[in-house]
Amino acid sequence: MPIRVGANSRVMWIRRAPRASGADDPGRSRAQRRSTPDGARVSRILVIGATSAIAEATERLLAARGDALYLVARNEQMLAAIAADLTVRGSPRIATESVDANDLSAHEAMLERAEGFLGGIDIALLAYGTLPDQKRCESSVELTVRELQTNAISVVALLTRLANRMAQRREGIIAVISSVAGDRGRGSNYVYGSAKALVTAFLSGLRQRLHPCGVCGDHDQTGFVDTPMTAAFRKGSAMGAARADRAWHRSRPRT
C-alpha cells in the first residue's frame, strides 16, 4: 500500500493512502472514527522517548494491533526510520516530532500538536532517560543537576501537564518506565536511582489524585534490561527489550 510522507515545521507525519470513500468522514462519531473496519477500537497513543529500545519494541506491538501513534524523541532520522517501519507493521496513522524533553517550555505546544493529530490521547508512555556516569557526577555538581533534570524533573513536568489534560477529559492512561534503582540508594548509581525514586513517588501520589477522575497512572520498574543503555554492563539474567515490552503490553488494559 502506498505511503505518503509530509513535513510541517518540526512535525513529520506518515500515513497510509486513503481508505475507501467515507473512511475519514469527519461527520462520523468519535467511536466510529476510533474503530477499525472489523469493529476493534483504535487507541491513540503518545510515546515520548520513542527511539529508546524499550519504546521501539512496544511500538511494534502497538502498530501490529492497528493503533494510531505520535512519536516524540530528539533524533529526527531515527524517528523517521521507526515511523516508516511501524507503518509497514500496521499502524494506520503515525506522526513524529523532534523535541528535547529538557526544554520544559516546549512541552505544552508538543502536547497540543499530539492531541490535534490524534484527536485526543488515550495512552501516554514516557520511556526516555539517561544512565549517568556516577563517578563523574560525584565530582560535578553541574552534571549531577543535568542528569536529575533529564531523568526526573522533565518527567515530572510532562506528567503534570498530561495529568491535567486527562483529568479534564476524565479518561486516559499514563505509563512511565521507571527502575528498581529507585527502590533504595546504591553507592554505584545513586544519582540515577534518586531520580527514579522521585519519579516513582511522584507518580504514586499522582495515581491517587487521578483515580477519582477515571485516569490510570502506572510506573513499570522493569529491572535490569538488555538495551543499548546497559551495553557496557554484565547482563547475567537481564531481559531483552522486546521481552520486557511484551510483558508491559500484556499488562495494559486496551482503551
Give the active site residues.
Answer: 192
Sheet arrangement for strand 68-73: 3-8, 11-16, 93-98, 68-73, 44-48, 123-126, 172-178, 215-221
Report which residue type is found at 200: T
Q: Measured between alpha carbons, how far is 128 from 55 in angstroms, rounded to an integer?
A: 8
3-state secondary structure of 1: coil
In 76-162, the DSSP E strands lie at: 93-98, 123-126
C-alpha dihedral sign at 208, 218, 96, 224: positive
Cα angle vertex 52, ends 36, 236, to 5°? 115
